[in-house]
Amino acid sequence: MQKPFHHLARGLFISDNKVLLAQAKSYTNTFLPGGHIEFGESAKDTLKREMKEEIGINCKVGRFLGLVEHKWEKNGVLNCEINQVFEVTSNEIESSANPKSVESHLEFFWCNGRDLDDNNLQPYPFRDLINNYLNGNNDVWWESTLNLEIDDSNRN
């Protein structure tokens, strides 16, 4: 039986109260930019590599914001992930224009913090955590969906 596990580094880019989101073409959910941490690679190095590969930019990885454990189902197979999240900045992108993706299967766009639900940001605990952050809450994040039922937004 397959047991896919994903260890991910995610970056929170914020500009003018907007959050940078990524979306795989033809999918309904969005996610924070970043990707899989390779064996022996640090989470911060992963973010620098992924931003270069996905958007073609250099970035500065800042403060660790927290961690979200999450599960979802794809084609009947349970997937579990750990997301390590960091503040990220770059002077090579601005919130006045959506960054162009280097990878043809991805799109990137700026989203108002209040619209994270409408854009089906996954893992969904990020929605409240990011809004709390935008409202000045600097607590370290930790959330988990592992003990919760999978709903239709996490099944495809």
For the chain, which residues make up each domain, given as ranges? 5-147
Classify the C-alpha dihedral 148-28-96-115 as positive or negative: negative
State the Cα–Cα distance between residues 64 and 19, nearest whole angstrom.
Answer: 17
What is the third-level CATH fold of 5-147? Answer: Nucleoside Triphosphate Pyrophosphohydrolase (3.90.79)
Cα–Cα distance for residue pair 99/37, rounded to 1 Å: 23
Token couple for 28? 């309904």
Q: Say which amino acid occupies 42.
A: S
Q: What pLDDT was estimated at residue 22? A: 98
Q: Would you say residue 4 has pLDDT above 80?
A: yes
- What is the model's pLDDT at position 86? 98
* Of 6, 15, 9, 17, nearest in space to 43 by CA: 9
User: What pLDDT sits at residue 155?
Assistant: 64
Query: Residue 21 pLDDT more than 70?
Result: yes
pLDDT at 110 over 80: yes
Comparing C-alpha atoms, which of 31, 7, 35, 9 is closest to residue 154?
Answer: 31
* Torsion sign over Cα 42, 23, 127, 7: negative
> Per-residue confidence at 154, pLDDT binned at 50, 70, 90?
low
Q: What DSSP string runs through 38-55? A: PTT--HHHHHHHHHHHHT
What's the pLDDT score for residue 74? 87
The pLDDT score that the predictor gives to residue 149 is 87
Task: Provide the pLDDT confidence category of residue 151 given band limits of 50, 70 and 90.
Answer: confident
